[in-house]
Amino acid sequence: MADLSGNWLGTYWQDEIPSRFEATFVQSGNTFNGSILDDNYLGEAQVNGEVIGRTVSFTKRYLITSPVPVRYTGIVSKNEDYMQGKWNIGLQYSGVWSARRGGENLIVDLQTRLEQQTSLTMI
């Protein structure tokens, strides 16, 4: 069984538009929970999921912006540093996602990138 505990930095695509996210998971046995912070207006979400072998599935629920749960499924790489799969909201919306295991300072990296993007749009 893959161990997902730790920090992850990823991207999901909706209508060919990428959104970056930072995730922190804590795993106990086959189950895990944690939080995800999207770098768009959707913000922070809570996560509950399960790992069976290298297959991962979890549900993301945003804290403030959207009451509709997002379902993620995917596969974890053999060395457990990368995962990818599909997400869906019912039958209406779906897309692909991927995440790579990251270091301890993901939020600092995310904030730096957002500041750089803001600086570039102001020039």
pLDDT digits (tens, 9 = 90+) for 25-34: 999 999 999 9
Closest CA to 100 of 82, 87, 120: 82
Q: Over the chain, what is the mean pLDDT? A: 88
**pLDDT > 70? residue 120:** no
Give the per-residue pLDDT at 105. 53
Look up residue 122 and give its amino acid: M
- With a pLDDT cut of 90, the percent of the chain lying above it is 70
Has this prediction a pTM greater than 0.75?
Answer: yes
Give the per-residue pLDDT at 111. 61
Sequence-distant contacts of 31-37: CB under 8 A, at least 24 apart? 32/4, 32/5, 32/58, 36/60, 37/107, 37/110
Give the per-residue pLDDT at 104. 54
Domain 6-122 sits in CATH at 2.40.128.120
50-83 tens-digit pLDDT: 999 999 999 999 999 888 999 999 999 999 999 9
Quote the CA–CA distance of 120 and 72 in Å, as a whole number: 33
Torsion sign over Cα 101, 33, 20, 103: negative
Give the per-residue pLDDT at 122. 57
Tokens 């509950």 -> residue: 48
